[in-house]
Each structure stands twice: as structure tokens, then as C-alpha cells.
């Protein structure tokens, strides 16, 4: 069927929700990764309801038209980029909170609601949804679920997979199904809710979610920083905190290059050359005692420790870490990577990053969720396209993480940027099994084709 005929069907069913303005189509080609699809999609459908999503998928199924689901477009792996011949299905406008149950510690929401906006509403009832990605102020809950997002607090409070009870999904043919449950426990049949989390739009369109909430942590938070002469010393110190048995809510590591870039952005005094920094926050009734214990551990490991005097100073210290991405953007186009290793392997992984920098002649500013071993190496370059030498260095870095018992991605997903390495981690047998699962959900291959899997 011709593109014009498909657009006619969409407009007949969805009227003003079908957008073909050049600026909108161009925006749908890209996400925050810096990668963009080669061509522009046929149209962007701005869904306002489950019915809109179902109408779109029925037309796509009947005509064999690929569909790429989008939220806020804040992904870092190209997973929501829509290209030529595809429909970009935006669920950003489906942003309602349908239900909050403080007694059951759950909320039912649409996928387009912004993470921070949801938590602002939940705060009135003394509740919160724990996943805390750095993009929380701009990313959607649906996008968080689709990518399996994490964040600064996940070492103590878990990632998205730990905070979703159920999802409502429109399948490739337009069928609406509901996976999961509202109860704390539920093991009936296969866990299709967990299968949807991190599936990056390849199994269906998430149109609703039942979220597991937490009560606000009583007491207050204590924040401290510790500076070290180099990043390896900071990594060794973070491993010592983990081994001590004290569980911080946040433990973030910044190497010298990333720390210097953020200080320049925020117009702070330049740090000592080579210096790396850990930022740690404790919370709850034992926050003071835990902060003092961690401070002692870090000092014993050679750190120069600074304990924030109050919450305002603590937020200023955390703002340095949260400013990492804007700081990288001041340096050029950034490929923000996302490997994870066992926490005890963090010093070895930083050794590998230093080796990759030397051997490939590239600086790789790196920040790390040290509480759970998730590193974000940054490759900075000029222009919109990732140079081949950057991919060579990234390949070396990815394989280092796998050798250390780690993984290609802790929270960003595979998208298009990492699909060539997926079989290296999974192995051929598991890769084929996962590919066959996608074909059960999407037998005609119209859901986010070319993403995650290479073919």
C-alpha cells in the first residue's frame, strides 16, 4: 500500500492526532543519544487514549507498516527513533494518573506521565515511585519501563523491574492485554510483566502501568563527598563501602575529566588535576550514624571527606553529579555508554577504561553509579555521526566489561547503538530464543524493527 493510502487510513481513524509537519517528523528521528534515523517517518500519531493506540496498530497490522513507540524522546540508545516508512506512535499525551491507593501502595498511570511529575503528586500522600533516572525531570514512566531504567537511588531501592506490578499492552494487531496484578504477590503463569520491562517497544505498546510505591523515608538525608587523587583509588574506596555492609541510598563516582567539566559548567573552582570524587547520601532514621560510618571508611581509604552541614548543602553537592550530561554537551556530541560490572570489579573496569583511552588515543570521561557497578563512559566527538574510531574504542570497552563478568547495558537499553554486540553477551542460543519470543508477540515484524536485534 502506498504511503498516501496509509496516511488516508490514519487520518480517517484518528483525525487531528495525525501530524505530518516537517519539524515534528524530523524531531521523531532522534533521541538524546545523538543518533538519528536516516529518513523521516510517514507521520507522528499523537495518541490520547488506548483507542487511539489500538486504531493505529490495527491499521499498521493490516498494511504491514512498521511502528515505533515514543514517549519524551530522552532515550540514549536510539530505541525510539523513527525512520522512513514508519509510523511514530507518541504516547506522551497519555499522561494521566488514573488511581493512587496509599493503603495498597500502588498507583495506576498512563505511560506519558513524567517521572518527576508523578512523584510530585505522590508526595502529598507521603508516597514515591523509587526509580530515579538522571532524566527524571524529562523522561516518562512508560519510557522508563520500556528501557528498564535505573538511576542514582537504585542500589538501595531497586530499578524499574522492582517497581512495576503490571502493564497494559496493545499488541501488534491492536489487541489489548493486561499483564500482572495488583497484589504484592502473584505467580500465576509466566511473568509477562517482567518480559515487557526493558523490551524497548519490540513486544507491544505499553498503554498503562500499575506501579509499586514506597512510603516516604522517615528522618532526613545526610550527604557527603570524598575526593581521591585518582579514579582507581575512588573505585577501591567505593568497593570498601559496599563490603562494609552499610547501604547508602546514593553512591556516585566521577572521574577527573567529568568532574572538571561539571565544575566548568557550574562555574565552580577547578578541581585538582587528576582528582576523582565520590558523592554519597544516606537516608532514614540511621542516616547520621551511617554517614559517619561511611565517612570513616572513605577516610581510611585515603579520601578527603566533606560532610554537608544541612540538606541545602547536600543538594548542592548532588547537583554536581546531576549536571554531568549538560556538562558533556558543552564539549561536543556525546555518545553516553552504559556498562555494568560486579561492584568488586569497579577498580579493574576503571583500569580497562584507562587502557582503552591510552591505546585508542581518546579521552573517555566516566561517571559511575558506584553503589551498583553501573558505569557511564562518555565518548565526545564533533558532528552528528559517531566516528569509526569511537566505535572501535567502544567495542574494546564493551568487551572488557563482559570479560569482567558484566553486561553491555545496565539501564539505557540496546536500541540501535548496541545491537551488534547483543549476541556476544547472550550467546547464539539465547539470542535465537529471545528473537523467537519477539516473533510470538509480533509475527509480522512491525514493532520497532531493526532495534535490539540485528535482523
Identify whether residues 112 and 227 lie together within a single domain.
no
Identify whether residues 101 and 197 lie together within a single domain.
yes
pLDDT, residue 65, reads: 98
pLDDT, residue 334, reads: 84
- 399 found inside a domain: yes
Strands (E) in 55-161, as ranges, are 67-70, 87-90, 97-101, 106-109, 127-128
pLDDT bin (cut points 50, 70, 90) of residue 383 is confident
Give me the chain's average pLDDT, please.
94
pLDDT bin (cut points 50, 70, 90) of residue 375 is very high
**pLDDT (average), residues 271-291:** 96
- 146 found inside a domain: yes
Q: Which helix (H) or strand (E) holds 208?
A: strand 205-212
Identify whether residues 170 and 202 lie together within a single domain.
yes
Identify whether residues 84 and 233 lie together within a single domain.
no
pLDDT digits (tens, 9 = 90+) for 393-408: 999 999 999 999 999 9
CATH code of residue 350 = 3.40.462.40
pLDDT, residue 308, reads: 95
Quote the cell numbers at residue 128: 514515591
C-alpha to C-alpha distance for 267 and 85, rounded to whole angstroms: 46
Identify whether residues 147 and 233 lie together within a single domain.
no
Identify whether residues 125 and 76 lie together within a single domain.
no
Residue whose C-alpha cell reads 535490539 in the numeric block = 452
Beta bridge partners of 205: 170
CATH code of residue 68 = 3.30.43.10
Identify whether residues 166 and 246 lie together within a single domain.
no
pLDDT bin (cut points 50, 70, 90) of residue 225 is very high
441 with 204: CB under 8 angstroms?
yes
Residue whose C-alpha cell reads 537511588 in the numeric block = 153
- 328 found inside a domain: yes
Residue whose C-alpha cell reads 577516610 in the numeric block = 299
**pLDDT (average), residues 146-168:** 92
Identify whether residues 290 and 230 lie together within a single domain.
yes
C-alpha to C-alpha distance for 287 and 408, rounded to whole angstroms: 33
For residue 163, CA distances in Å to 89, 128, 131, 209, 414 come to: 25, 11, 7, 10, 21
Number of Cβ within a 10 Å radius of residue 329 = 15
- Buried-state track 24-34, b at ≥16 Cβ within 10 A, e below 16: bbebbbbbbbb
Backbone angles phi, psi at 402, to 5 degrees: -65, -40
- 434 found inside a domain: no
In this structure, is the dihedral angle defined by the CA atoms of residues 260, 407, 151 and 416, taken in order, positive or negative? Answer: positive
Which structural domain, as residue segments, surrounds residue 53? Answer: 3-90
**pLDDT (average), residues 340-356:** 96
Q: Give first-to-last CA distance, the chain, whole Å.
A: 23
Number of Cβ within a 10 Å radius of residue 351 = 16
**pLDDT (average), residues 274-300:** 96
CATH code of residue 116 = 3.30.465.10
- 247 found inside a domain: yes
pLDDT, residue 260, reads: 96
276 with 225: CB under 8 angstroms?
no
| End position of a domain, from candidates 184, 215, 246 | 215
- Buried-state track 79-105, b at ≥16 Cβ within 10 A, e below 16: bbbbbeebbbbbbbebbebeebeeeee
pLDDT digits (tens, 9 = 90+) for 249-269: 999 999 999 999 999 999 999
Identify whether residues 132 and 272 lie together within a single domain.
no
pLDDT bin (cut points 50, 70, 90) of residue 51 is very high
Identify whether residues 49 and 134 lie together within a single domain.
no
Q: Is the pLDDT confidence value at 387 over 80?
A: yes
Range name among 19-28, 82-91, 293-302, 311-320 with the lowest pLDDT average: 311-320
C-alpha to C-alpha distance for 246 and 263, rounded to whole angstroms: 29
pLDDT, residue 175, reads: 98
| C-alpha triplet 170, 175, 179: angle, nearest 5° | 60
pLDDT, residue 455, reads: 54
Q: Which value, in Å, is the radius of gyration of the alpha carbons in the chain?
A: 22
* Total domains present in the chain: 3
| End position of a domain, from candidates 33, 59, 90 | 90
pLDDT, residue 336, reads: 87
Quote the cell numbers at residue 214: 514506597
Identify whether residues 253 and 365 lie together within a single domain.
yes
- 415 found inside a domain: no
Q: Which helix (H) or strand (E) holds 120?
A: helix 115-122
C-alpha to C-alpha distance for 148 and 169, rounded to whole angstroms: 16
- 173 found inside a domain: yes
CB-side neighbour CA atoms (13 Å) of 117: 13
| End position of a domain, from candidates 193, 215, 237 | 215
SS3 content of the chain, % helix, strand, coil (to 5): 40, 20, 40
Q: Is the pLDDT confidence value at 411 over 60?
A: yes
Identify whether residues 272 and 310 lie together within a single domain.
yes
- 330 found inside a domain: yes
Q: For the chain, how many residues are written?
A: 455
Q: CA nearest 3: which of 23, 24, 20?
A: 20
Amino acid at each position: 500500500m502506498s504511503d498516501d493510502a496509509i496516511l488516508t487510513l490514519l487520518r480517517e481513524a484518528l483525525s487531528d492526532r495525525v501530524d505530518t509537519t516537517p519539524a515534528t517528523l524530523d524531531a521523531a528521528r532522534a533521541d538524546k543519544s545523538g543518533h538519528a534515523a536516516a529518513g523521516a517517518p510517514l507521520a507522528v500519531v499523537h495518541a490520547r487514549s488506548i483507542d487511539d493506540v489500538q486504531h493505529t496498530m490495527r491499521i499498521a497490522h493490516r498494511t504491514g507498516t512498521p511502528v515505533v513507540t515514543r514517549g519524551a524522546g530522552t532515550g540514549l540508545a536510539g530505541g525510539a527513533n523513527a525512520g522512513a516508512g514508519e509510523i511514530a506512535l507518541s504516547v506522551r499525551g497519555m499522561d494521566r494518573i488514573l488511581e493512587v491507593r496509599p493503603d495498597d501502595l500502588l498507583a495506576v498511570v498512563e505511560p506519558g506521565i513524567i517521572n518527576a511529575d508523578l512523584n510530585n503528586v505522590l508526595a502529598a500522600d507521603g508516597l514515591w515511585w523509587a526509580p530515579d533516572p538522571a532524566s527524571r525531570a524529562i523522561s516518562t514512566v512508560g519510557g522508563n519501563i520500556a528501557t528498564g531504567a535505573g538511576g542514582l537511588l537504585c542500589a538501595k531501592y531497586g530499578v524499574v523491574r522492582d517497581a512495576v506490578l503490571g502493564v497494559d499492552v496493545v499488541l501488534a494487531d491492536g489487541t489489548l492485554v493486561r499483564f500482572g496484578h495488583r497484589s504484592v504477590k502473584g505467580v500465576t503463569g509466566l511473568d509477562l510483566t517482567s518480559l515487557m520491562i526493558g523490551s524497548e517497544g519490540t513486544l507491544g505498546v505499553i498503554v498503562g502501568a500499575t506501579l509499586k510505591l514506597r512510603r516516604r523515608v522517615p528522618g532526613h538525608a545526610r550527604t557527603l563527598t570524598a575526593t581521591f587523587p585518582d579514579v582507581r583509588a575512588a573505585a577501591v574506596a567505593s568497593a570498601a563501602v559496599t563490603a562494609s555492609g552499610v547501604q547508602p541510598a546514593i553512591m556516585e563516582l566521577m572521574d577527573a575529566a567529568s568532574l572538571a567539566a561539571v565544575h566548568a559548567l557550574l562555574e565552580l573552582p577547578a578541581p585538582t588535576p587528576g582528582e576523582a570524587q565520590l558523592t554519597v547520601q544516606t537516608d532514614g532514621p540511621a542516616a547520621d550514624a551511617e554517614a559517619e560510618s561511611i565517612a570513616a571508611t572513605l577516610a581510611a581509604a585515603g579520601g578527603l571527606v566533606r560532610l554537608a552541614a544541612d540538606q541545602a548543602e547536600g543538594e548542592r553537592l548532588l547537583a554536581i553529579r546531576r549536571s554531568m550530561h549538560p556538562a558533556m554537551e558543552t564539549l561536543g556530541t556525546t555518545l553516553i555508554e552504559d556498562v555494568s560490572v560486579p561492584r568488586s570489579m569497579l577498580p579493574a573496569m576503571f583500569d580497562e577504561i584507562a587502557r582503552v583511552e591510552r591505546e585508542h588515543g581518546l579521552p573517555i570521561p566516566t561517571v559511575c553509579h558506584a553503589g551498583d557497578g553501573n558505569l557511564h563512559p562518555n565518548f565526545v566527538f564533533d558532528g552528528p555521526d559517531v566516528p569509526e574510531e569511537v566505535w572501535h574504542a567502544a567495542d574494546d570497552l564493551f568487551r572488557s566489561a563482559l570479560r569482567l563478568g558484566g553486561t553491555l547495558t545496565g539501564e539505557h537499553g540496546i536500541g540501535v547503538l548496541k545491537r551488534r554486540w547483543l549476541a556476544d553477551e547472550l550467546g547464539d542460543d539465547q539470542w535465537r530464543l529471545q528473537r523467537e519470543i519477539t516473533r510470538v508477540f509480533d509475527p509480522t515484524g512491525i514493532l520497532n524493527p531493526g532495534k535490539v536485534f540485528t535482523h
